[in-house]
Amino acid sequence: MAERELIEYIRKLAAVDKPPWATVGIGDDAAALEVPGGGQLVVTTDMVIEGVHFQSGTAARLVGRKAVARALSDIAAMAARPLCTLAAVNFGACRDETTWQELSRALCETAREFSAPLIGGDVASGAGPMSVTVTALGIPGTHGIITRAGAQPGDAICVTGQLGGSIRGRHLEFRPRIEEALALAERFGVHALIDISDGLSTDALHVAEASAVGMVLRASEIPISLDAVDLAKETGRPPIWHALNDGEDYELLFCLSEAQAQEVVRTGLKGTVVSIVGDVTSERESYLLASDGRREPLAAEGWEHLT
Amino acid sequence: MAERELIEYIRKLAAVDKPPWATVGIGDDAAALEVPGGGQLVVTTDMVIEGVHFQSGTAARLVGRKAVARALSDIAAMAARPLCTLAAVNFGACRDETTWQELSRALCETAREFSAPLIGGDVASGAGPMSVTVTALGIPGTHGIITRAGAQPGDAICVTGQLGGSIRGRHLEFRPRIEEALALAERFGVHALIDISDGLSTDALHVAEASAVGMVLRASEIPISLDAVDLAKETGRPPIWHALNDGEDYELLFCLSEAQAQEVVRTGLKGTVVSIVGDVTSERESYLLASDGRREPLAAEGWEHLT
């Protein structure tokens, strides 16, 4: 059973109970709800696990940073603004009090850096790997939340930044694209939005499925990071494979009208580079278009959490 | 460094950032906040870890149930009503898909049972123990939230149910005291409220510290469960030691006027038995009063999560 199959299993179980005030339930980057009394909230919970999301021996400061930034990237992916965070830390077999304190400090400081103060949590230790689960609450921007489900045939597909090879360090020290996502909703009428955590290929397919459209990615337009180029020398794979499948880029993947896409590329997005990498089609088929015109079916070869 | 020391360390770090709309921050059973746009929320995040909160081999159904019920007990401890839940499941080394599904189903079903539908989450696997982190959101009852901090000298100290020996099974199958807590706030003007997760001794000291009062518990009045009596035969400790220190009772400990306490005991609390177990004093000393009049300082010998 793959991650997506289990999530689909849970989504179906939970769908029975989905209350009308939960405007987005299981299956998007975050849930959204109307709070009794008036406000709207976006909420997500996200784990980082030693040996899965970070290597043993990674500085506690970076573990705490990643745990918070990862959850806030999910808030950004709904075009929402972070409000606050809670952290549940399982120190596992670690009994080093300096590590406990440094990790705790990193959680508080990263939360502060992105204006999402830490207001609660839980701590425990036991055996095995360390893990940190961060819950983030956010509030929709003035244009409301943006889900994975709004891509329209004819839309351009865009990404921020450069992709691939994040394992060389970027996966620990990225900035969640909060301001960029809010600007996309408020100034560029973005239709669909997701953060690239599982990999461009997998996450593009997530948007395709949620929006009931096809995605055509043009290989020659995909921005490949220098990390991906370096990593390719070690792995023997082409750099574009890494850009498509490595995941943990925490860049934004989004769909909007061709004209708006041109405008974003022209004006830039809060100083962050944007690339148009493909088109949304009405076919229910998604593929990668090589520069010689060959089509390769887009396969979900990105990150798989259940192995 | 003990759990309370680390939490105090984090509380101080986070206090710098505590925004005015976070009406309760780190250090109570749950955080409370005013949502921009209107409405008030209570939010908590809570872990159960294999080998710490449940034994290896425990039925997945019970693990899922406990994970949700534990978080909802924290919502109850604020006199709030559950709204919804999110669950982050780390299956650890477990690769058994039946377990994955049964655990997922238990999370959904327990959430449904207590009217807190599951609206989001995260799944992963890796190595080591399984763990489940549940985040619960709740809304204050009509009389607002009740914290640990309102106990007043002269108040009676009460508990619901019977205490001790929960390890014999109750720690997996308790019902969070949601309706009882709401009734305490709405009908009996309760001053301070906490759920007994760490043990009566430790949790009474939590209330004493938060309320800046002393707690006098009368040994002869503490309701000792049959489980504690049975367990005492195995451990050689007196049953009352287990009632005071075992923890994971998930009963309510609360303080209210003597007259209201008598009234609760007389009328009962949604069918749940209530015992008056002591008095709140203005001294900053807390102790256990034996039937022969001896005083023993109340020691936090309850559950310690960082060992």
Q: What is the pLDDT along chain B (307 residues), one digit of tens a residue?
A: 788 889 999 999 998 888 999 999 998 999 999 999 999 999 999 999 999 999 999 999 999 999 999 999 999 999 999 999 999 999 999 999 999 999 999 999 999 999 999 999 999 999 999 999 999 999 999 999 999 999 999 999 999 999 999 999 999 999 999 999 999 999 999 999 999 999 999 999 999 999 999 999 999 999 999 999 999 999 999 999 999 999 999 999 999 999 999 999 999 899 999 999 999 999 989 999 998 999 999 987 766 666 5
A88 to B126: CB separation less than 8 angstroms, yes or no: no
Residue A9 contacts B, CB cutoff 8 Å: yes
A120 to B307: CB separation less than 8 angstroms, yes or no: no
Mean residue pLDDT across chain A? 95
A118 to B14: CB separation less than 8 angstroms, yes or no: yes
Asked if A109 and A40 count as a contact pair (C-beta separation under 8 A), the reply is no
Taking CA atoms, what residue in B is nearest to A50? B126
Residue B131 contacts A, CB cutoff 8 Å: yes
Q: How far is CA A261 from CA A159, A207, B208, in A?
A: 10, 17, 60
Nearest-angstrom CA–CA distance, B241 and B199: 10
Q: Between residues 139 and 198 of chain A, which touch chain B (CB distance below 8 Å)?
A: 139
Environment class of residue B297 by beta-carbon count within 10 Å: exposed (0-12), middle (13-18) or buried (19+)? exposed
pLDDT for res A307: 55
Q: What is the pLDDT of residues A142-184, one digit of tens each?
A: 999 999 999 999 999 999 999 999 999 999 999 999 999 999 9
CB-nearest to B306 from A107, A123, A129 is: A123
User: Of A254-258, A262-266, B24-28, which gets the smallest average pLDDT?
Assistant: B24-28
> Which residue out of B122, B142, B145, B306 would a mutagenesis test of the A interface target, given it has the greatest number of A Cβ atoms within 10 Å?
B122
Work out the end-to-end distance of chain A between its first and last CA atoms, rounded to an integer number of angstroms.
9
pLDDT band of A299, cuts 50, 70, 90: confident
CB-nearest to A14 from B97, B117, B135 is: B117
Nearest-angstrom CA–CA distance, B72 and B175: 9
pLDDT for res A301: 75
pLDDT at residue A302 above 80?
A: no
Which residue spans of chain B are classified as CATH 3.30.1330.10? 3-140
Taking CA atoms, what residue in B is nearest to A30? B120
pLDDT band of A304, cuts 50, 70, 90: low
pLDDT for res B299: 84
B135 to A135: CB separation less than 8 angstroms, yes or no: yes
Residue A118 contacts B, CB cutoff 8 Å: yes
Residues 6+ apart with CB under 8 A from B172: B54, B58, B62, B63, B65, B66
Residues 6+ apart with CB under 8 A from B34: B21, B23, B40
Taking CA atoms, what residue in A is nearest to B124? A305
ipTM score above 0.90: yes
What is the least distance, in Å, from the CA of B200 to any CA of chain A?
A: 19
pLDDT for res A1: 78
Between residues B16 and A39, the one the model is more confident about = A39
Contacts of residues A260-269 at CB distance under 8 Å and 24 or more positions apart, as own/partner, are A260/A156, A260/A188, A260/A189, A260/A190, A261/A155, A261/A156, A261/A158, A262/A156, A263/A188, A264/A158, A264/A184, A264/A188, A265/A158, A269/A160, A269/A180, A269/A183, A269/A184
pLDDT for res A3: 80
CB-nearest to A123 from B3, B44, B111 is: B3
pLDDT for res A284: 87
**pTM for the complete prediction?**
0.96
B3-140 placed in CATH 3.40.1280.10 = no
- Residue range A70-79: average pLDDT? 98
- Structure-token match 């709004």, residue found: A150
pLDDT for res A86: 98
- Residue range A19-30: average pLDDT? 93
What is the least distance, in Å, from the CA of A112 to any CA of chain B?
A: 7
For chain A, count helices (H), then strands (E): 9, 13
CA nearest neighbour of A196 among A274, A249, A245: A249
Q: Which residues of A touch B83 (CB under 8 A)?
A: 33, 36
Architecture of domain A156-297: Alpha-Beta Complex (3.90)
What is the least distance, in Å, from the CA of B282 to any CA of chain A?
A: 29
